[in-house]
Structure 1
Amino acid sequence: MEKTYETHAMWSHYFLRDKFFGYIRTTSQCEGINSLIRFYVNRKNTLIDFMHNLDRALKEYRNNELITDFKSQCSEPVMITSLEVYERSASCYFTRNIFKEIRNEIQRARALNIKVLSTTLDKVEFSVTTLGDPAKDRRVEVDRSKNMFSCSCKLFESRGIPCSHIFCAMKFENIIEFLDSLIYKKWTKNAKNEFISTEMPVNDDVERVLKF
């Protein structure tokens, strides 16, 4: 028990709030892949069958990704919150699935109260509480000179999306544009552009291209 407690910083949620895991929780990612492959592969398959079926599973994965990318790039979601300026801005930057997560945080911001705790030069500290539950207090720090926001809930650090408390502070500061410091590039529509290119040099090594 003592040894387990000594390593609590490696598994305790409190110590992992500021660590980014990209929405992967426990074994959920592996379980999702296993459930898909199980649909195509079973113990009676020969090695050839296994390779063909695995290829079909990968094609479905890639097809689903193409469909998701198409929806993100070529369609616009319906605005449903009262903070439409943030919602519309988020829809321009983020993929559809991440946009839905951010929209939930924008909706939650409507039920929050905010007050200024301290002001020093370009920095402001806010106390953000939930309507009807003032005991649940979150602290939001704003650096006006750098347009940087940080919240004690650490949602942005752990998931890469701004929390409802930050949106509440943005509304109080009358910031109507989505700040670059709040855009996690991994979740944007154009995240692949830096890594995937259709342009290849003419004299490039064929073997290296095939491996890629």
Structure 2
Amino acid sequence: MVFGPFTGKDNHGCPIAFGAGFVSSENCDAFSWVFTVFVECMGVAPRIIITDQDWGMRLAIEKVLSGTRHCLCMWHIMSKLFEKIPKSISDREKFSKEFKACVWSELLDPDEFDILWTGIVEKYGVEDHKWFKDMFVVKHLWIPAYFRDVPMGSLMRTSFSESENSFFKRYLKPLFNFVDFTLQYNNDIDAQRNQTERLDYYDSIISPKCATDLTFEKQLASIYTDRMFRVVQESISEADKSCRMISISTLENIEVFKVSDARKKTFTVTHEIETESFDCECKLFERCGYLCSHLFFVLRNKDVNNISEKYVGNRWLKSELLKAVHGLMSDESASDKGSNEDDKLQLGNRWHGRYFGLYQCAFKNKNHLIALDNLLAGIGPQIFTHESTGSSSVDKNDSIKNIYGIIVPEEITAHAPDVVSTKGGASDKKSRIKSSIEKAIEKASKLHRRCGECHKVTDHNARSCGRK
């Protein structure tokens, strides 16, 4: 049976498994069943799905996921490029470079792409080649120029399916039965969740260093996850050091900026004054969910300190803020939880939701932040009394009891064993039996002497010369 995982991206930009299914054959009916069950489990159909060039899967998506935008994986297509180039082309490396620059460009619109593609294939005489003709027919399914306004999150440029397959291969074996598979699959998911929790923990304790003195860089450093902030930080540094203003014009209620970036390309940024809305010609924010260097440059020149919430988005926020945005910590969600859950955990989740909700509302105004800080500082003395300061040892014992399920005994009877000096690596006596590796190391480091028979510097003598 064929194992097919559903893979996406989390807020750290790492692969995450939504689910998996088994099919007995790779045809339309089998894939239709998998997609139907997947939608039932998730509760909603995906907005975008990226697959390889399997025809049965494409028919199943058109049948079951009619409202989902289907894309073909660019990585799988472009990995076949060099073997598809005809041998009649003398400079195959030059053709490959020009063709990749055309295909991978996210800055071209569909009309510009068509012109550039046609020019390249006619230049090298491959306009009648079957593979290039077939790929041009389905260009709307895999060329980035046709997905400029679609929130892809950089999924088209990498093969997350291949990285997820290699991840599962660490745990799964072809000869596993379903019981073994279930156990190992749960281990896979636990390892993936552990990685996410570790990144969440780093985000909560690490404050990234700012590359500029811009205020909105500090704002984004406190909101975005560390991995995604490093990507955004490159755009901020480029805006601060490399971008240049070419021209500024005003037309009624709209400001138009011509901005040149580090690659000496010029893009148009429009600013609608009445609604305070910005838009860049490169469409990076629509595709990936974070602003480009051209917009950062305009915001810097307009002395913007805090970026509006609509241009921050909620795709790459830290986990706590992400949960607050989606309402996962609201009072309703806490009341709907099962009665078997811990009341303290429910109250803690509810408190986190309220705090981050207040924080997001107050972050837009400095006076609101000061008022919220003063309010929290005044609540502490009202709740916590001086009597609770001496209960640290009691709290520690309670936490140990909750974790291990036992009470700390008054008298400790079990102690760590003493080290046996005559066993293993702790031994320092010459009587210890040496391993073959130790003997080989000592023999290699031992100085050789000259043989009296063959007069060579070697590890044998005149008596054993010739016997080896």
TM range (shorter): 0.7 to 0.9
- In 2, the alpha carbon distance for the partners of 1:132 and 1:21 equals 23
Do residues 161 (structure 1) and 290 (structure 2) align?
yes
Task: Sort the Cα spacing of 1:70 and 1:200 in 2 relative to 1 into closer, same or farther, 3 A.
Answer: same
Distance between the aligned counterparts of 2:229 and 2:245, measured in 1?
Answer: 24
Give 3-state SS (helix, strand or coil) of 1:186's partner: coil
Question: What is the aligned length?
Answer: 201
When residues 90 and 42 of structure 1 are mapped into structure 2, their CA distance, relative to the original with a 3 A threshold, is: same
Match of 1:140 in 2: 269
3-state SS of 2:304 partner: coil
Give the 3 Å change call, closer, same or farther, for CA 104–202 of structure 1 in structure 2: closer
Higher mean displacement: 99-108 or 13-22: 13-22
Which residue, out of 270, 274, 279, partners 1:150?
A: 279
Amino acid aligned to 2:188: A
Question: C-alpha separation between the residues in 1 aligned to 2:279 and 2:249?
Answer: 15
Is the Cα contact below 8 Å between 2:249 and 2:257 reproduced in 1?
A: yes
**C-alpha distance in 2 between matches for 1:150 and 1:11:** 25
| Contact 2:280 2:295 (C-alpha < 8 Å) held by counterparts | yes
Q: 2:290 aligns to what SS in structure 1?
A: coil
Q: Which residue is equivalent to 1:199?
A: 334
1:102 aligns with 2:232: yes
Is the CA contact 2:214–2:300 (under 8 Å) kept in the aligned structure 1? no
Percent same amino acid at aligned positions?
21
Change beyond 3 A, Cα 1:59–1:117: same
Q: Which residue number in structure 1 is paired with residue 221 of structure 2? A: 91
User: Are residues 202 and 129 of structure 1, via their aligned partners in 2, closer, same or farther at CA, if it must alter by over 3 Å?
Assistant: closer
Shift of 1:202: 6.8
Q: Deviations over 1:29-71 (max 9, x none)?
A: 2112111110001113233221111111000111111111222
d(CA) in 2 for partners of 1:202, 1:107: 45
SS in 2 for 1:114: strand
User: Structure 2 CA distance, aligned partners of 1:113 and 1:85?
Assistant: 20
Computed over aligned residues only, the root mean square deviation of the Cα atoms, in angstroms, reads: 2.4
In 1, Cα distance between the equivalents of 2:219 and 2:178? 50
1:104 counterpart letter in structure 2: E
- Picking from 173, 186, 195, the partner of 2:315 is 186
Within the alignment, does 1:38 sit opposite 2:169 as a pair?
Answer: yes
Q: 1:195 to 1:48 in 2, by over 3 A?
A: farther
What secondary structure is seen at the aligned counterpart in 1 of 2:305?
A: coil
Give the aligned residue type for 1:141.
T
How far 1:147 moved relative to its partner?
2.1
Partner of 1:126: 257
- Cα distance per residue 1:128-173 (max 9 Å; x no partner): 113683xx21111112322211111111111011000000111111
- The equivalent residue for 1:53 is 184
Counterpart secondary structure, 2:153: coil
TM-score, with structure 2 as normaliser: 0.40
1:172 aligns with 2:307: no
Paired position in structure 1 for 2:105 = none
Change (3 A) 1:87 1:203: closer
1:78/1:3 CA distance change after superposition, 3 Å: closer
CA contact (8 A) 2:255 2:271 kept: yes
Q: Equivalent of 1:76, from 207, 222, 225?
A: 207
Partner Cα distance (2:175, 2:141) in 1: 41
Q: Distance in 1 between matches of 2:187 and 2:218?
A: 37
Q: Which amino acid aligns with 2:336?
A: P
